[in-house]
Structure 1
């Protein structure tokens, strides 16, 4: 009997080694197939998703909220956004923004069920720890996304493929597959944080298309963050957004801006804090509310505002036709901290062109109000303030010409000469680009 036990034990050990070798060979072959598979054009996304999920389960997916099970076939003819992350996904404010931009965004209703966000959590260790499982269970009951039903069973070859071929480095990323399963964007996170559902189908070509028509406007900065602000933008109202960590400066600025706004000028004033959220910001928001100083974004929406700016900075650095002026403005705002000096941005709805005031310029803005207020009707608020704060460099004639690409609705405001700073006259040029 003892000999039989020894023989069976040895046989079991041999079989385990053989099974292990078989799994290694299967993983190796799967890893070799995946890169070629994703470079091939298919009639739909099914074969690629089946190979990626590599599950024997007929219903490997689930709706995180309802816990309803789903098959891969239900993703056919849909754009699939693979949200790849660690089990804890993202900091809570980023999760809120991601949900807002993908499922609560106003544009989402127009495209209905054309896309699905599929969460693919990957453990940061070789196996799923107890903490990983707790994080996944908690978040999977709170998100409006779909998810792998058992992410811990994801094939190790697939995990290695995502890490090595798709460059997953523990920072959450969103890989976009079109209806044919082709990768159209290796990471759509930035464009989704900026444009939300409006960025559908979330491809690189769509990203370029959106960015080429963007101008440095208030709409770009705050669109979709708050319904009230969105309405103000659509109504073409004048905006003043500002930030400061000095309560006395905020009190003084709010008092003066109310005096200005009580005249014929209609100016909506919104406080947006600064980039790094702190207890100090919470305190400033309480002061603004208690003293009724001005309109302000909530603590969470302030985080949305700055996260969007960070995404804009990241996106502009990748664009071939980069707008250097816009990049400088974005970078300048992101470098602002909670120092005593406040900053101010003024513009009108979706019209291009913003004017930034800081330090002594804020004082000049109020001192010169009688000067620039006279030009509001002809120049608009940005043009009027610029003409007052940045006087012309020359009183003589100037023949500097500039051809601006025209996009419907983007050149309604005044344009100023880069040389003499005076208001330009507008002409229309028709250009033929025929090549044959």
Structure 2
């Protein structure tokens, strides 16, 4: 009790630190000699001079020393926990609220057991230092040390778990603080986009340019920047479609750049993800981040909550001043390509008002023969399905009707959504039997994703199937499942599915 009375004016953290410090000052030399005398020549020499009996009985005392060592290490670990808990930043965590209040309630008990353990250690070490030829050691002494070590270790585990909860709470508060800071920054008018980009990448000041050289982020300053946001599962078809648009910007003299922002789970990162990340980088012809942790966690939170990223890729457009022009321009990039630059929500809405529901809107970039067919006043029939028997019957019947009516017709197989392998097989058979034209994989993928983009774009602008004809038609096309067959026949100015 004398020790507790002497330390009564100190904080709980100071109590344990002062106690351990006093213990180390008084018994540190002995403990070092006892620990190292069998393996270190200098310690052995000192032991011969100061503690010859310890050296002589070192093997017999090994169990005793091991128990002492475990207890001392446990005391040090608990002390570190107590100090950490008392020094947590009050800005982010309150001592009056869980989990810190819960942890602090156990510090009194932890301090008691540390000081009590120090007293026991002092008593036993003093006995060892004073022994001579009448060397004896009690089994109960070693048991007492082991028992205390177990008790103090249990306290350490409990405090450590409380400390982890405290750090989680602090991280949550810091994340929210950084989130609000980024939100204010991106919603405040800026002179240029550099501050926004710096906030996105935080301490990561360099990115990889299209040639895969490291460059400072300010190379994107005062440019239109398209943030391609995805996980590591972005499809190669998606990359190829964007690459076409990106490369065409040069001939169109458009001053914009794309940079890939991968959204990954840092806690599950492994070599497989690393390899996938590197593969994605090598497949992209635009700017990318240097590593998977380049994006600040608060920005990832903002991307998910404010820009609505879940799984599917999105493209957020920033103008040269860093203003967000559209939270997802990927749809209009698929539909209109660079014609929609600078890819703002206003341009998207204007295009929908100006562009009619025609064959050109649907497949102009997919079917190179379309201008010729249109000039020849042919009916163009695009059809899908995954049952070969039906396809043969449908193409034969359609051609027969067209011939009987003396109508010029061209037929194109467009596959089916989410049936890649079956579509590939059927495409081969259609070409082999010369039933009709048939698109390759990328065009099939793009056609069905173009329809989805039209649907999402219309929805984004508040259109419903009740008040929008295009949305009605698109939903009809997308509504067919793999058990049904479908065909779209069109003249240049009219589309009917």
Q: Same fold (TM over 0.5)?
A: yes
More divergent stretch after superposition (280-289 vs 9-18): 9-18
2:183 to 35, 39, 43: 35
Matches within 5 A, 1:377-392: none
User: What secondary structure sits across from 1:141 in the alignment?
Assistant: helix
- Please tell me whether residue 48 in structure 1 is matched to residue 196 in structure 2: yes
More divergent stretch after superposition (236-245 vs 277-286): 236-245
2:429 to 276, 287, 298: 287
User: What secondary structure sits across from 1:151 in the alignment?
Assistant: coil
CA contact (8 A) 1:271 1:296 kept: yes
Q: 1:228 to 1:15 in 2, by over 3 A?
A: farther
CA contact (8 A) 2:266 2:293 kept: no
1:228-248 per-residue CA deviation (whole Å, 9 max, x = no partner) reads 446656887642212233323
Matches within 5 A, 1:396-435: none
1:295-354 per-residue CA deviation (whole Å, 9 max, x = no partner) reads 111133112111111111222223346653222211111122344644232221xx2x22
More divergent stretch after superposition (122-131 vs 210-219): 122-131
CA contact (8 A) 2:226 2:256 kept: yes
- Please tell me whether residue 112 in structure 1 is matched to residue 249 in structure 2: no
Cα separation, 1, equivalents of 2:328 and 2:408: 41
- Alpha-carbon deviation of 1:26? 6.6
Give the structure with the higher percent helix: 2
Q: Which has the larger radius of gyration?
A: 2
Q: Which residue of 1 is the match for residue 246 of structure 2?
A: 103
User: What secondary structure sits across from 1:310 in the alignment?
Assistant: helix
Q: 1:71 to 1:244 in 2, by over 3 A?
A: same
Q: Which residue of 2 is the match for residue 306 of structure 1?
A: 448
User: What secondary structure sits across from 1:152 in the alignment?
Assistant: coil
More divergent stretch after superposition (325-334 vs 337-346): 337-346
Cα separation, 1, equivalents of 2:484 and 2:88: 69
- Alpha-carbon deviation of 1:289? 0.9
Matches within 5 A, 1:135-154: 135-154=276-295
2:331 to 182, 190, 203: 190
Q: Normalising by the residue count of structure 1, what TM-score does the alignment of the two structures yield?
A: 0.69
More divergent stretch after superposition (202-211 vs 318-327): 318-327
Matches within 5 A, 1:14-413: 29-55=177-203, 57=205, 60-63=206-209, 66-86=211-231, 88-100=232-244, 102-103=245-246, 108-126=249-267, 128-229=269-370, 238-258=379-399, 260=402, 265-320=407-462, 324-339=468-483, 341-348=485-492, 351=493, 353-356=494-497
User: What secondary structure sits across from 2:293 in the alignment?
Assistant: helix
- Alpha-carbon deviation of 1:27? 5.2
- Alpha-carbon deviation of 1:178? 1.0
User: What secondary structure sits across from 1:52 in the alignment?
Assistant: helix
CA contact (8 A) 2:381 2:487 kept: no
Q: Which residue of 2 is the match for residue 419 of structure 1?
A: none
- Alpha-carbon deviation of 1:97? 3.1
CA contact (8 A) 2:382 2:412 kept: yes
Cα separation, 1, equivalents of 2:347 and 2:414: 29
CA contact (8 A) 1:44 1:180 kept: yes
1:3 to 12, 20, 24: 24
- Alpha-carbon deviation of 1:127? 5.9
Q: 1:262 to 1:136 in 2, by over 3 A?
A: farther
Q: What is the aligned residue count?
A: 346
- Alpha-carbon deviation of 1:44? 1.1
Cα separation, 1, equivalents of 2:385 and 2:397: 15
Q: 1:109 to 1:264 in 2, by over 3 A?
A: farther
User: What secondary structure sits across from 1:119 in the alignment?
Assistant: strand
- Alpha-carbon deviation of 1:77? 2.4
- Alpha-carbon deviation of 1:177? 0.9
Cα separation, 2, equivalents of 1:191 and 1:96: 16
Q: Which residue of 1 is the match for residue 98 of structure 2?
A: none
User: What secondary structure sits across from 1:82 in the alignment?
Assistant: strand
User: Comparing both chains, which one has the higher relative contact order based on Cα–Cα distances under 8 Å and sequence gaps of 6 or more?
Assistant: 1
CA contact (8 A) 1:81 1:177 kept: yes
Note the residue ranges of structure 1 that are not aligned, 5 or more in a row: 357-436
Question: Cα RMSD over matched residues?
Answer: 3.5
More divergent stretch after superposition (231-240 vs 334-343): 231-240
